[in-house]
Amino acid sequence: MTSAAKESLAILRAHGVEAPLDAAIVLGTGLSDLAARMSEPVVISYADLPGFPRPTVSGHAGRLVIGRHSGRRVAFLQGRGHYYEDGDPRAMAGAIETLAALGCGALVLTAAAGSLRSDLGPGDLMLIADHINLNGRNPLIGVHSDDRFVNMIDAYDPGLRAQLRAAALRLGLPLPEGVYMWFSGPSFETPAEVRMAGLLGADAVGMSVAPEVILARRLGLRVGAVSLITNHAAGYAGGAPTHDQTKAIAATGANALASLLDAFLEGIDTP
Ligand code: HPA
């Protein structure tokens, strides 16, 4: 374990965080409010947790909230670090390592994304089944041990995906699965890049998720990920994304995501 993660773990223990977590949920742009309904939360700013990111993006609060939610022990991460902020694909490494050290049954990532599908429009949810990373960046570059050769088959855990789909079914909420293609950002994609992404098999494009999944899989965490579609990707069906639109649609679509996460947590398998 890195010394930063050790220090963060000690700080969490000093705040009374002891029991393993049933799940940790990373809240993306505009989704931080989903953590508001925790009972007896312990709230710690990322600034007080060594190795955690220092979010620079509006819509990312930068706080860890741990407590009980839907009868489960849950950590919400309000905001994430992105590769595009400082060019570091390991922006979430310290946070993910700390969660793994704490003992965490499932890591669920949420993130805004642009859609390349006619049946997925602003406000809809997509369950990520797999990703494409052609960035040339990987958070495990520079790790000098054999565990860097992470198997990425079923990286998006089939069991968690089934639980998320079952939760959506109980709510009558459509949750189609799709492939997420990671672009570095922070500029949005060009229409030509979006056409390329579609030809390569992407259903949605976004600026996060993939490096976090790679980091988490190295540590053996089970991962699930849900995209909140905030727009059609640039040039697709008239898509012309802006960050303001991402934040505005994320805020309106957050209700559906909140319901999905509640239902997922209620139904989650606990050891
Ligand atoms: N592209 C990349 N990231 C995004 C988009 C998009 O169209 N929408 C929300 N996040």
List, in order, residues 6 or more apart from 23 with CB less than 8 Å away.
72, 74, 75, 104, 105, 106, 107, 108, 265, 268
Mutate to test the pocket of ligand 1, among 116, 245, 246, 252 (most ligand atoms within 8 A of CB): 246
Name the residue with higher pLDDT: 79 or 239: 79
| DSSP assignment string, the chain | --HHHHHHHHHHHHTT--SPBSEEEEE-TT-GGGGGG-EEEEEEEGGGSTTS----STT---EEEEEEETTEEEEEEE----HHHHT-TTTTHHHHHHHHHH-BS-EEEEEEEEE--TT--TT-EEEEEEEEE-SS--TTTT--SGGGS---TT-B-HHHHHHHHHHHHHHT----EEEEEE---SSPPPHHHHHHHHHHT-SEEESSSHHHHHHHHHTT--EEEEEEEEEEPTTGGG----HHHHHHHHHHHHHHHHHHHHHHHHH----
Number of Cβ within 10 Å of residue 128's Cβ equals: 28
Would you say the CB of residue 241 lies under 6 angstroms from ligand 1?
yes
Quote the ligand 1 centre to 70 CA distance (angstroms): 30
Is residue 233 in contact with ligand 1, taking CB distance under 6 Å? yes
Q: Is 90 exceeded by the pLDDT of residue 241?
A: no
Q: What is the set of domains in the chain, with CATH numbers? A: 3-267 (3.40.50.1580)
How far away, in angstroms, is 137 Cα from ligand 1 center? Answer: 18
For atom 9 of ligand 1, which residue has the closest CA?
Answer: 113
Q: What is the pLDDT of residue 38?
A: 83
In ligand 1, which atom is closest to the CA atom of 233?
7
Ligand 1 in reach of 113 Cβ (< 6 A): yes
- Ligand 1 centroid–CA 57 distance in Å is 14
Is 90 exceeded by the pLDDT of residue 63?
A: yes
Q: How far is the CA of 91 from the centre of ligand 1 (A)?
A: 19
pLDDT-derived band at 247, boundaries 50, 70, 90: confident
- Cβ(182) – ligand 1 distance below 6 Å: no
Return the best residue to mutate from 187, 188, 203, 247 for the ligand 1 pocket (most ligand atoms within 8 A of CB): 188
DSSP 139: T
- Give the model confidence (pLDDT) of 157-200 as tens digits: 999 999 999 999 999 999 999 999 999 999 999 999 999 999 99
pLDDT tens-place string over residues 18-50: 879 999 999 987 777 777 778 889 999 999 999
Residues 87-100: tens digit of each pLDDT: 999 999 999 999 99
Q: Is the CB of 110 under 6 A from ligand 1?
A: no
Residue 107 Cα to ligand 1 midpoint, Å, equals 22
pLDDT over threshold 60, residue 271: no
Q: Which atom of ligand 1 is nearest to the CA of 189?
A: 1
Look up the pTM and report it.
Answer: 0.96
